[in-house]
Amino acid sequence: MNPLITDFRVHAPATPVIVALDFDNASTTLNFVRQLRPELCQLKIGKELFTASGRSLAESLINQGFKLFLDLKFHDIPNTVAAACKAAAQMGVWMVDMHASGGKRMMEAAADAVAHFSSPPLLIGVTVLTSMAQQDLAEVGVSCSIEEQVLRLASLAQQSGLNGVVSSAQEAELLKSRLGDDFVLVTPGIRLNTDNTQDDQRRIMTPKAALASGSHYLVIGRPITQAAAPAAVLSDINLGLL
């Protein structure tokens, strides 16, 4: 097993919450982040915001003391993904992800690329997107159940030296029982009891339920970013009130 896998708790954040910065420009993002504090959350930048604002915004957030999840879901030939992960490590990101369906050679190359860094980013494999249902898998030629596909890809990610995977909280208990407590489970699709948001996430769960199922980190976007008082909602989540 990759030694990185057993080290993730050594410098683990005090909170499991990762706020998804689902904005389309740097100015709006920075204005929003001024309401938050690094001890209350980690931050996530995805494809839209990174494409619009690039490396400078990511480095600005890191320089403010936030742990940053660079959510670009790399999926390419091994050398290209390895080089991208190395660049992310040089930026000082806390976590970076890639599609586990890219295969073992790709993931092993990524793990090798960051192994020599003194504080390498957590490498996380994407299993089955939480927007996908059984019919979506069938349309791309996957005939097994979502749970079987998630477990297959998560097991491959672990064998390849990755620290953990992204999956829905509905698979967290299964993954924890099969892959152990030290394999990091990052869970998007988190919704609050008070949230009536309609969006493209299908396999969803509340923060308390997700943590109880075995998730280590909770990715929460719109319930916080679209709240009238984002810092208050974040504090309530950390206190376990929602």
Domain architecture of the chain: domains with CATH: 3-238 (3.20.20.70)
Per-residue pLDDT of the chain (242 residues; tens, 9 = 90+): 344 444 555 456 779 999 999 999 999 999 999 999 999 999 999 999 999 999 999 999 999 999 999 999 999 999 999 999 999 999 999 999 999 999 999 999 999 999 999 999 999 999 988 788 899 999 999 999 999 999 999 999 999 999 999 988 888 999 999 999 999 999 988 888 655 554 555 556 888 888 988 999 999 999 999 999 999 999 999 888 55
Candidates 158, 101, 96, 163; CA nearest to 128 is: 101
73 is catalytic: yes
Q: Which of 44, 73, 86, 104 is catalytic?
A: 73
DSSP secondary structure of 7-30: GTTTT--S--EEEE---SSHHHHH
- pTM, to two decimals: 0.89
